[in-house]
A and B are shown apart, each in its own frame.
Chain A
């Protein structure tokens, strides 16, 4: 594989937006192109993450329209990737693989989503379409519900009291909200306390409102290129050192929801390809769609022993100045979760961290970063290892 370099990244503010998906993506894409010192007509292909465009704006086949919107030449292929919340990371991975294998020299990947125009009932209905449509959907299961079942199963498996686990979960929300206050593009920029979390309305026992990320609108984009030809174009080259992706069946096929085979396979591939292990990672953006999701992810990504995720949180390992800073951007919890754009925004944050451009939320001296994005009932998970020299 050829070495793949990041030439530029761009991102909109996350939250509720009056912009259409095409407008949001254009803003992110043109920012990424400007950083790259390139024009859209130079791009050879576009890889887009988008999940619910058909329900949101009644827009199918969005990739070619986005390519045209940003001025790519007609004839260059544009493709939508859909892997639920992991869509953009899957798109980036495939873009990197295509550049690495020599099919293209210069491409753009990213994602766009406009969830808030659906309203909460339609949004929860369409989100729930990520569950098995024959054998789970009609139970009324929701994504908060699936992760709520993770939390309960975690307590039973490790013999941990629910109140103790909920305290670690609440601390995770507090930490991510704090990080969000330091990110100008975050959906929420408000400090919260453990009491805020524990006094919130119940969404799916034991998950309360502040255990859950919001629905957001937003877009993010990344320009990837063959390093041999293009790395001199950027001051601080960041490389895609490894990628991985895994799949698994629906919830009932996975059985032990505290271990996610797709994630463990994806991150192992990415680590192996990069020639690193978890102890080499300086900063990580992981998929904290719910607080319990961050706690168990720490274990599966190798940042804590199995059963020790809550202890790692309680020790402060995951704070900005901790042993392994997690979600300096504020994560999905505070930065927001525009489903099909989320993975691209995680990659944006890691690229900015590795370049040292994150201001107050900068993780000092970060050289290797991990992106972990989980789709649906963890049946799609995708990982990226990024590094600088």
Chain B
């Protein structure tokens, strides 16, 4: 049986330990964060694990005013380009949603995460959401 190179649970534990774990493709050097089964550039499955910079740049965002059941709007969702190349989607925290404007695009952020407990004791999984803070 093949091994999955870096599982969701391992990645999530890394975030809880203050690390942004990921994969570097041994064939083309592409960084894959969050992890996947194969390189997003060349399709290779030859990886080394590493810990990557928790830094990035906001590429787009929105303020959610009507959220799914269980969320408390307003809150900001942003897409960030990590310093090592991959994009991730997370919440921009530590900012008044009313102050969010197009000026946010291009701003530098640090990358952390919020761990979300399972929906009920009977079922569901512990989840995670990336959390960004303006530098």
Contact = CB atoms under 8 A, between A and B. Distances in A.
Given A140-B68, A252-B89, A205 B79 contact: no
A156 B60 contact: yes
Nearest to A127: B68
Given A140-B71, A149-B77, A252 B60 contact: no
B100 interface: yes
Interface string A113-156: 00000001110110110000011111111101100111011011
A139 B60 contact: no
B89 A152 contact: no
B29 to A, nearest CB: 18
A125 B70 contact: yes
Interface in B13-48: 34, 40
A251 B79 CA distance: 9
* Interface residue SS majority, chain A: helix
A235 interface: no
Most buried by A among B64, B69, B71, B114: B64
Contact of B67 (A142, A149, A162): A142
Contact of B129 (A138, A153, A255): A138
Contacts of B128: 134-135, 138
Contacts of A204: 62-66
A203 B66 contact: yes
A278 B67 CA distance: 37
Contacts of A141: 64, 77, 89
A249 B86 CA distance: 13
Given A134-B8, A135-B34, A145-B77, A121 B68 contact: yes
A359 interface: no
Contacts of B8: 134
Chain A interface size band reads: 35 or more
A252 B79 contact: yes
B134 interface: no
B1 interface: no
A153 B59 contact: yes
A203 to B, nearest CB: 5
A125 B68 CA distance: 4
A375 to B, nearest CB: 18
Contact of B40 (A134, A202, A253): A253
Given A121-B69, A145-B64, A205 B100 contact: yes
Interface string A233-267: 00000000000000001011101010000000000
Interface string B66-94: 11111101010101010000111111000
A124 B90 contact: no
A34 to B, nearest CB: 41
15 contacts: A122-B69, A124-B66, A124-B68, A135-B89, A135-B128, A138-B114, A138-B128, A139-B91, A140-B71, A149-B62, A202-B65, A204-B65, A205-B63, A252-B34, A255-B81
